[in-house]
Structure 1
Amino acid sequence: MSRTLVIGDIHGAYIALQQILERATVTTSDTLIFLGDYVDGWSQSAEVIDFLMEIKQQYNSIFMRGNHDDLLLDWMKTGEYNEQWFNHGGKLTTEKYSSVIGDRREAHVAFLENLQDYHHDNDNKLFLHAGFTNQNGIKGEYFTRMFYWDRTLWETALALDESLEKNHPQYPKRFTHYSEIFIGHTPVTRIGETKPVNKASIWNVDTGAAFKGPLTVIDADTKEYWQSDPVYKLYPNEDGRN
């Protein structure tokens, strides 16, 4: 039986990525949807990208664009960086990428260039890294960078009065267009959780792998999930983004 498996923010945690795919017993009949932020945090960002390129050849797989992925791509193409990115994982990534040269580097650039802003499936499920701001949904979004930078979708879900019905005039219109929305970007460790969190129609699968949490893969239909060990324990000599 085929499954749709959604993978949260990896942030250079190659060992954790291998763990969750093994623990979920992933097969070639499964569809793998990666929510972005493959890099920045732990020391194996380049190995993660190598591995994802292998997965792309072997599995039915879909890759979202995360803000950290976009920042890395910009640096690889221009050599320029912003201080905020550099201080939130970018510095370690640029150091590790000094050895990624030639054809391997070109392949990484091509992979990052071809990431998707979102995936909207036949069951009206939406998958993207961060969110969107337009009340009419993804097709009406004027600022496409919001697909991998927005936090207001998740913040609104957290603040929502759970007693409101979908037809209530105060119910956020953004939540009504899709049966479910799967995101990462804002770690649920900020609200004291380390497992996927559902608020309204939003499922947040960023379980804090860049910090003290595990990496997570969740079945989009059954909501069964599998997690790695807390990632910091897999990289005991590193700080991640802590």
Structure 2
Amino acid sequence: MQTIVKRIVIPHNKRIIVISDIHGHYYHLKNLLAKINFTEDDILFILGDIIEKGPLSLKTLHYVMYLCDNYIVYPLIGNVDAARLLLIDNNSTEDCNELFVYMKSMKKKWGSCLFEEMCSELEIGVNKPEDIDNAKKQMKIKFRNEFDFLYNLPTIIETQNYIFVHGGIPSSDINSFISTDPFQYLKIDAFMERNIQFNKYVVVGHWPVSLYNDRIACSNPIIDKKRKIISIDGGCGLKRDGQLNALVISAADSENITYQYYDDFPVAIAQSSQEESVDSISIRYTDNEIRMLEEGDEFSLVEHKSSGYCLWMHNDYIYSFDENTRCDDYTDYRISVNIGDKLSIVRKTSRGYLVKKNGVTGWYSGMISQ
């Protein structure tokens, strides 16, 4: 597997849509495209991680292939897509064992994976590692078009004003990346924290944008016009409050950049107002060590180790209840709400609601109507 660079010229009368990190969430993708009124007059870029970590990888892949056949769509490969291809393609006993373990873990955590869905469609049972080799042979015949589609996805696409890539790039010297190892551009964590800038916009996914803020959890795209970097991964499926983002670039002005998003949380109307909290924290998995101070039935008092910040945390987000433990991504931010605001309900608790408002996650203690 080598880096493939593709260069295209975008007509000036075309609206550009950019989506990334769908992760097998077929209905999120379909509903988001409907929300932004995607048509044959638009150009759609999909920045990889089409499959895995979601419920409908194969159906999502087929839908993306359908879009490519019927619209102007440029999909790219993501690190998860590439890693799954390599795992399926390799036939050693060790690789078969690894795929078997992977399949079981994905079923437990996400409900399914591409390999299992292909086996199901072929009516092949995989009950032990020894079953993997035969399953691979059959699916490579049955799903040849799907595998060819994924293998031929480019790593980087460059246009007049934009560079699209899943993880990021170390410089603007695109030619030097050709035929190199693609994973160095597919898996760049926290790309926006690198001291780098470009002469045209570099649009990336891979790293959920909520991980960039240690006070407020926000899943909306981050647009840095000075350094010309845009990060759009809304944490679809990976984060409990995640969303699928669509970057929308105006046909008339390449600097006119907006966004829309889709999530499937139920929506309610706020019946009372509340002010934003002065102090808050957004704990992310990159720094999630906590100390248990007081265990409760629903919420427990914990201390975030690195900051010393103390907060009440819902027990469902705590991995274990000993003195030293870790937690899932979590915030105690009290969101600003006006009467009549639309709120997406992430979780209902005895202490109020964990909600999203315009892509921002926070707590609301008022009344709602649905």
Normalising to structure 2: TM-score of the pair? 0.53
The question of 1:92 aligning with 2:112 is answered: yes
Give the distance between the partners of 1:38 and 1:201, measured in 2 at CA.
Answer: 25
The question of 1:27 aligning with 2:18 is answered: no
Query: For residue 114 of structure 1, what is the aligned residue in structure 2?
Result: 152
Give the distance between the partners of 2:261 and 2:110, measured in 1 at CA.
Answer: 25
Query: For residue 68 of structure 1, what is the aligned residue in structure 2?
Result: 80
Query: For residue 205 of structure 2, what is the aligned residue in structure 1?
Result: 184
What pairs with 1:163-174 in structure 2 (closer than 5 Å)? 172=196
Greater fraction strand: 2
The question of 1:226 aligning with 2:260 is answered: yes
Total equivalences in the alignment: 215
Q: In the alignment, is the contact (CA less than 8 A) between 2:21 and 2:233 conserved in 1?
A: yes
Cα separation, partners in 2 of 1:138 and 1:100, compared to 1, 3 Å: farther
Residue 122 of structure 1, CA deviation: 1.9
Residue 100 of structure 1, CA deviation: 4.3
The question of 1:127 aligning with 2:161 is answered: no
**Which of 213, 218, 242 is equivalent to 1:213?**
242
Residue 85 of structure 1, CA deviation: 6.6
Superposition CA RMSD, Å: 2.7
Residue 91 of structure 1, CA deviation: 8.2
Cα separation, partners in 2 of 1:63 and 1:104, compared to 1, 3 Å: farther
The question of 1:203 aligning with 2:247 is answered: no
Give the distance between the partners of 1:144 and 1:137, measured in 2 at CA.
Answer: 15
Cα separation, partners in 2 of 1:97 and 1:113, compared to 1, 3 Å: same
Deviation string 1:46-81 (CA, Å, 9 cap, x unpaired) is 100000110010011111110110112123322534
Give the distance between the partners of 1:128 and 1:138, measured in 2 at CA.
Answer: 11
Greater fraction helix: 1
DSSP 3-state at the match of 1:151? coil
Unaligned runs of 5+ in 1: 161-171, 234-240
Cα separation, partners in 2 of 1:108 and 1:119, compared to 1, 3 Å: same
Moved more, 89-98 or 221-230: 89-98
Give the distance between the partners of 1:85 and 1:193, measured in 2 at CA.
Answer: 30
Residue 104 of structure 1, CA deviation: 5.0
Normalising to structure 1: TM-score of the pair? 0.78
Query: For residue 48 of structure 1, what is the aligned residue in structure 2?
Result: 60
The residue type equivalent to 2:168 in the other structure is G
Give the distance between the partners of 1:197 and 1:82, measured in 2 at CA.
Answer: 35
Deviation string 1:122-143 (CA, Å, 9 cap, x unpaired) is 22x100000123x453222354
**Which of 191, 194, 198 is equivalent to 1:153?**
191
Q: In the alignment, is the contact (CA less than 8 A) between 2:207 and 2:233 conserved in 1?
A: yes
The residue type equivalent to 1:92 in the other structure is S
Query: For residue 163 of structure 1, what is the aligned residue in structure 2?
Result: none
Cα separation, partners in 2 of 1:90 and 1:128, compared to 1, 3 Å: farther
Query: For residue 38 of structure 1, what is the aligned residue in structure 2?
Result: 50
DSSP 3-state at the match of 2:168? coil
User: Greater CA radius of gyration, 1 or 2?
Assistant: 2
The residue type equivalent to 1:52 in the other structure is V
Deviation string 1:141-197 (CA, Å, 9 cap, x unpaired) is 3543212112263231xxx5xxxxxxxxxxx3xx23x31110000001223221101
Over the matched positions of the two proteins, sequence identity in percent amounts to 21
Residue 95 of structure 1, CA deviation: 2.4
The residue type equivalent to 1:42 in the other structure is G
Q: In the alignment, is the contact (CA less than 8 A) between 1:10 and 1:215 conserved in 2?
A: yes
Query: For residue 140 of structure 1, what is the aligned residue in structure 2?
Result: 176
Q: In the alignment, is the contact (CA less than 8 A) between 2:87 and 2:99 conserved in 1?
A: no
Residue 44 of structure 1, CA deviation: 0.3
Residue 30 of structure 1, CA deviation: 0.7
Q: In the alignment, is the contact (CA less than 8 A) between 1:128 and 1:147 conserved in 2?
A: yes
Unaligned runs of 5+ in 2: 1-12, 123-138, 267-327, 330-370
Give the distance between the partners of 1:140 and 1:85, measured in 2 at CA.
Answer: 34
By relative contact order (CA 8 Å, sep 6+), the higher-ranking structure is 1
Give the distance between the partners of 1:183 and 1:72, measured in 2 at CA.
Answer: 20
Deviation string 1:22-41 (CA, Å, 9 cap, x unpaired) is 00101101110000001111
Q: In the alignment, is the contact (CA less than 8 A) between 1:194 and 1:213 conserved in 2?
A: yes
